[in-house]
Chains A and B, each alone.
Chain A
Amino acid sequence: MSSDVRFTDFKSDKQPTWCPGCGDFGTMNGMMKALAETGNDPDNTFVVAGIGCSGKIGTYMHSYALHGVHGRALPVGTGVKMARPDIEVMVAGGDGDGYSIGAGHFVHAVRRNVDMTYVVMDNRIYGLTKGQASPTSRSDFETSTTPEGPKQPPVNPLALALASGASFIAQSFASDALRHQEIVQQAIEHDGFGFVNVFSPCVTFNDVDTYDYFRDNLVDLDEEGHDPSDYEAAKKVILDSDKEYQGVMYQDDQSVPYHEQHGVTEDMSDIPDGAPEDAMDLVREFY
């Protein structure tokens, strides 16, 4: 495969088992189109998926992929990219996966600035475990485990990313197909860690953060004339809890990805048949 890659090449032959209407369909379509549009093909792409309804994405896409344990997708993606700077790495998961059990990894993946794309399908609920509060659930959102709401403020993943030194922060909405695709594309093309929080409604367990809610409340940053290279402006929209934004909030145009800073440029899968030629030097060092 090469230049004539179509987005359907990234589709596997497994039919998604997501609930009809789940936001994850739109999120995935946009990701596949963005990958194809940016010149990638399944044999040079590695998708790492988290655990949750969202994490099933690895199954429905076709590429090299790993579906790991809950919350650890980012470290796996980091390992893949370190070993193979030549491979396009995309990591995907849910808000529980990324901001709860995986929150520690999120902070560090952001600050490492490894050149990969992280797409979080944020439905503000735990879908796969059938409707418990997630770290992005509203503080009064009633669920089976929080009958009176979590009574804790939600995590603001964009602010967390900004505070961790992110070089690319964006948000999109699964059902605004073109904008979502365009934003993921920008994240892929970004030199460094491209983070996209996607509003991806759960039609089964979340009757508050619905398609209608986002449609009614979404403000597009492009239409607002937002300049993503303006850190102060980014801070403002990211910390604005009154509105829901889509678009690229922040992009550091000076971003130097991890592998360039650390000189990690070799294909590490290629090793000699025996010890390296000068390996006896390793022994001599101990004289």
Chain B
Amino acid sequence: MAEDFNWAIGGEAGDGIDSTGKIFAQALSRAGRHVFTSKDFASRIRGGYTAYKIRTAVDSVDSVVDRLDVLVALTQRTIDENLDELHEGSAIIYDGERSWEAEIPEEMTAVDVPLNSLAEEAGGSIMRNVVALGAACAIANFDVEYLDEALEKRFGGKGSKIVENNKEAARLGEEYVEENYDLDHLGYDLETTDEDYVLLNGNEALGMGALAAGCRFYAGYPITPATSIMEYLTGRIEQYGGHVVQAEDELSAINMALGGARAGARSMTATSGAGIDLMTETFGLVATSETPLVIVDVQRSGPSTGMPTKQEQGDLNMALYGGHGEVPRFVVAPTTIDECFWKAIEAFNLAEKYQTPVFLISDLAMSVTEQTFPPETFDMDAVEIDRGKLVDQDEVDEWLDEQGRFRAHADTDDGVSPRAIPGTIDGAHMSTGLEHDELGRRTEDQDERVQQVDKRYRKVETARNEEDWAYREFGNPDADDLVISWGSNEGALVEALEYLEDDGIDVRVISVPYIFPRPDLSEEIEAAEDVIVVECNATGQFADLLEHDTLTRVKRINKYTGVRFKADELAEEITEQLSAEVPA
């Protein structure tokens, strides 16, 4: 395992936990360290426990662990909630002056820092979290100067005075700990490097991918945890001539996006939970009218309003089967934050190449988790844009029938028809959710119905053959036992391999980013002694699919507590499952 350091700040919602965490994460990233963050938050704006956790190492980190080295506790609950992650070498920063006596287990190191008074000394009590950051730097032997840049980034817009005060607050925190405590025995000494990293979360990566892919129109309705995609695009999409609309509801959002797409703009909508239900009405229309549209579902814990700020991967069936009738579609599920970027680009290409909805399903954990990457990870020169059979003005004639009518739904070998957008002379045509003929005119003729259904599914067949529906592989490819996962579990699973290796357990891991079409895993599953499918839902939706594909029973690891998998926990579960019976 990499030499890593785990830090957290926790308190009440409204205490500025998130921004404080982000500042520290940025400072670590500036110091050339890798960072992986996670957030614990309740569905309320003020009050209620929230925490921001950072795992940092010199090597890359892709998951969270059950371990905290330094905890900034603004409330007793922060300590209580994290007790099982604290260990003998943990230091807990708290403010004893703030009329609470922290109950800290003896074996841990209590670091009482007058956060409030020092903040006031620096210019205002609002900076007490920054004082705590300075204190944390002292404990971790991490140069407080790295905070400066992050503070400038955060407060630069508010004027140099505020920035200076914050820098001062951090220094006061650092000095206080250095003068009053000797904590070298804890052994923390955060190494720095010359590497440059960027730090971003899954929704930001997804939004950035959309912009890189030429997305120009976005319509959405606020819902956790999808909203930050809309927030990211707002203010950035305009610089490319695009626009974001906050619609009146999700029914409207998806229909607006559909309108944008039919007008020729690369268009997207994103939602979660109840929002995807509302959008379902329009799935069939998107497919039947053969409109290229990217629909993002950032999954959260359901059903109904469920646990809106908690993790789950429960919407896979919805993405696969949502909508009445049979709706051809693609379902793509990025497995890592950087893949949110690349899969967003791929989603737009697939949508336009095959003129059909593409569901991009992410999840809450991925959407809020921030991670560092070398900037080249998002190499914009490598972005390829394929608009499919969008016809130029001079190509229109090829697609007119004898009467000069544009064959918008022409039956072709690959199932993909030419696409004319408004303004293309002689390309005018009607599209509809009704069954239609090649011209888009309503039909109930049996042959035409079958022709169009077959044509729409033939596109999927074409794509199945022509595209690379690869999976990602980790662990020992020759191991007897196979662990399969989809979506954001990959990072924890990959790290679990190290724990398993320590215990002498060898497994092969397959992480699947494509749900439909998906890679054919029958050989891999057949060759394996044990197959375990890991997912964040109660019923094992992906496991069901694989069983259906291969007629082989698989073992399952399901987590639906609302919290993502942790590496050590996964390793344990895998070990347990390997000796368990295959379900009858």
Contacts and interface: CB of A to CB of B under 8 A. Distances in A.
Nearest to A2: B425
Interface in A264-283: 264, 266, 268-269, 271-276, 279-280, 282-283
Given A82-B256, A82-B260, A273-B385, A69 B282 contact: yes
Nearest to A259: B243
Contacts of A14: 441
B264 interface: yes
B181 to A, nearest CB: 33
A79 B200 CA distance: 30
Contact of A84 (B208, B251, B256, B422): B422
Given A62-B428, A64-B428, A86-B423, A268 B211 contact: no
Interface string A253-267: 000000000111010
A283 to B, nearest CB: 5
Contact of B422 (A67, A75, A80, A284): A80
- Among B242, B267, B289, B428, which residue has the most Cβ atoms of chain A within 10 A? B428
B451 interface: no
Interface in B238-269: 238, 240-243, 245, 247-249, 251-253, 255-267
Interface residues of A, number: 59
Contact of A269 (B211, B259, B265): B265
A43 B425 contact: yes
Interface in A1-48: 1, 12-14, 42-46, 48
A26 to B, nearest CB: 21
B430 A68 contact: no
B211 A282 contact: yes
Interface residues of B, number: 72
A285 to B, nearest CB: 8
Interface stretch (B108-116, B431-439, B458-466, B498-506): B431-439
B245 A78 contact: yes
A76 B243 contact: no
Interface string A58-79: 1101111111110110111111
B244 to A, nearest CB: 10
A64 B426 CA distance: 10
B383 A274 contact: yes
A43 B245 contact: no
B434 A67 contact: yes
B517 interface: no
Given A72-B251, A72-B282, A43 B427 contact: yes
B567 interface: no
A262 to B, nearest CB: 7
Contacts of B200: 286
Interface stretch (B11-19, B66-74, B214-222, B534-542): B214-222
A108 B198 contact: no
B75 to A, nearest CB: 31
B251 A75 contact: yes
A13 to B, nearest CB: 7
Contacts of B421: 64, 269
Given A79-B257, A283-B375, A283-B380, A276 B263 contact: no
B240 to A, nearest CB: 6
A14 to B, nearest CB: 6
Closest 4 CB pairs of A and B: A79-B259, A269-B264, A271-B214, A266-B241
Given A64-B429, A67-B432, A105-B252, 11 more contacts: A63-B430, A67-B434, A69-B433, A76-B258, A79-B267, A268-B260, A271-B385, A272-B214, A280-B380, A282-B212, A286-B198
Interface of A: 1, 12-14, 42-46, 48, 58-59, 61-69, 71-72, 74-84, 86-87, 104-105, 107-108, 262-264, 266, 268-269, 271-276, 279-280, 282-284, 286-287
Interface of B: 29-30, 196-200, 204, 208, 211-214, 216-217, 219, 236, 238, 240-243, 245, 247-249, 251-253, 255-267, 281-282, 285, 289, 375, 378, 380-381, 383-385, 387, 403, 405, 421-434, 441-442
